[in-house]
């Protein structure tokens, strides 16, 4: 059976289509396992034509990861006019919604091995730095005391939040509300006591 001819798209539309196909395929494979042959076949074009739109496999990888990281960052950008508690809840809700809706791709690209992949490591780290800055901003908006430990605590909360969101049972009633409350309480407990850490009695 002859292969279906690709629809005529503008260069920008074709690039966007190929990136979308590549990201969709990452739901069941790693970045290293992603075949540009398979991506091109699914788009109805030749592998050679794919590299008309991307300089190399590395460029294609970077385009996919950059788009997902941009979408992730945008999902967590609260309205700056919100009051502090509403701002924090909007940030947490955006984080939660993005990761739960794109859980497998998030694990493949942002949290997983792709985060240390030489082709995209800088993009992933830049995104994680942006998220950490938003955590710090939320802490300061709430009027919590500053501390030299704050940058470390921000990254610690991110690790806690990632673990919770990627493993939270979503089939329970009001699962997202319960998850949001859990992340918020963890935020307050971790970032609100930096100047007075409390240990269990010895």
pTM: predicted TM-score of the whole model, two decimal places: 0.85
Residue 93: which CATH number? 1.10.357
Nearest to 135, CA basis, from 110, 117, 162, 113 = 162
Please indicate, yes or no, whether residues 48 and 110 belong to a single structural domain of this protein.
Answer: no
DSSP for 75-104 reads HT---TTS-HHHHHHHHHHHHHHHHHHTHH
With respect to residue 85, please indicate whether it lies within any of the assigned structural domains. Answer: yes
Mean of pLDDT values over 127-147: 94
Distance from C-alpha of 202 to C-alpha of 186, rounded to nearest angstrom: 24
Question: What CA–CA distances, in Å, run from 86 to 61, 104, 129, 141?
Answer: 36, 28, 22, 10
Question: Could you list the residue range(s) of the whole structural domain that residue 146 is in?
Answer: 64-191
91-117 pLDDT tens trace: 999 999 999 998 888 887 766 555 557
- Number of compact structural domains in the chain: 2
With respect to residue 39, please indicate whether it lies within any of the assigned structural domains. Answer: yes
Least confident of 16-30, 47-61, 104-118: 104-118
**What is the SS3 assignment for 126-190?**
HHHHHHHHHHHHHHHHCCCCCCCCHHHHHHHHHHHHHHHHHHCCCCCCCHHHHHHHHHHHHHHHH
Distance from C-alpha of 41 to C-alpha of 103, rounded to nearest angstrom: 25
Please indicate, yes or no, whether residues 23 and 116 belong to a single structural domain of this protein.
Answer: no
Please indicate, yes or no, whether residues 51 and 121 belong to a single structural domain of this protein.
Answer: no
Identify whether the C-beta of residue 50 lies closer than 8 Å to the C-beta of residue 40: yes
Identify whether the C-beta of residue 42 lies closer than 8 Å to the C-beta of residue 21: yes
Mean of pLDDT values over 37-58: 94
Residue 56: which CATH number? 1.10.10.60
Q: What confidence score (pLDDT) does residue 2 get?
A: 42
With respect to residue 200, please indicate whether it lies within any of the assigned structural domains. Answer: no
Please indicate, yes or no, whether residues 98 and 55 belong to a single structural domain of this protein.
Answer: no
pLDDT band at 198 (very low <50, low <70, confident <90, very high): low
Please indicate, yes or no, whether residues 102 and 141 belong to a single structural domain of this protein.
Answer: yes
Tokens of 16: 């966007």
Residue 132 has pLDDT above 90, yes or no: yes
Q: 53: Cβ–Cβ under 8 A, 6 or more apart, which residues?
A: 11, 14, 15, 18
């Amino acid at each position: 059976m002859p292969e279906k001819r690709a629809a005529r798209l503008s260069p920008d539309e074709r690039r966007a289509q190929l990136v979308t196909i590549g990201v969709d395929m990452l739901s069941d494979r790693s970045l290293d396992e992603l075949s540009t042959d398979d991506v091109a076949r699914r788009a109805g074009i030749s592998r050679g034509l794919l590299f008309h739109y991307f300089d190399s496999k590395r460029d294609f990888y970077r385009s996919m990861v950059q788009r997902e990281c941009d979408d992730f960052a945008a999902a967590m950008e609260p309205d700056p006019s919100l009051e502090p508690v509403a701002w924090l809840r909007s940030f947490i809700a955006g984080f939660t919604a993005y990761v739960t809706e794109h859980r497998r791709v998030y694990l493949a690209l942002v949290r997983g091995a792709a985060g240390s992949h030489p082709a995209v490591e800088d993009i992933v780290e830049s995104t994680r730095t942006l998220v950490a800055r938003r955590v710090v901003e939320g802490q300061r908006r709430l009027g919590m005391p500053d501390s030299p430990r704050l940058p470390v605590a921000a990254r610690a909360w991110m690790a806690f939040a990632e673990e919770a969101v990627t493993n939270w049972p979503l089939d329970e009633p009001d699962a997202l509300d319960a998850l949001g409350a859990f992340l918020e309480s963890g935020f307050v407990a971790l970032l609100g006591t930096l100047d007075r850490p409390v240990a269990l009695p010895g």
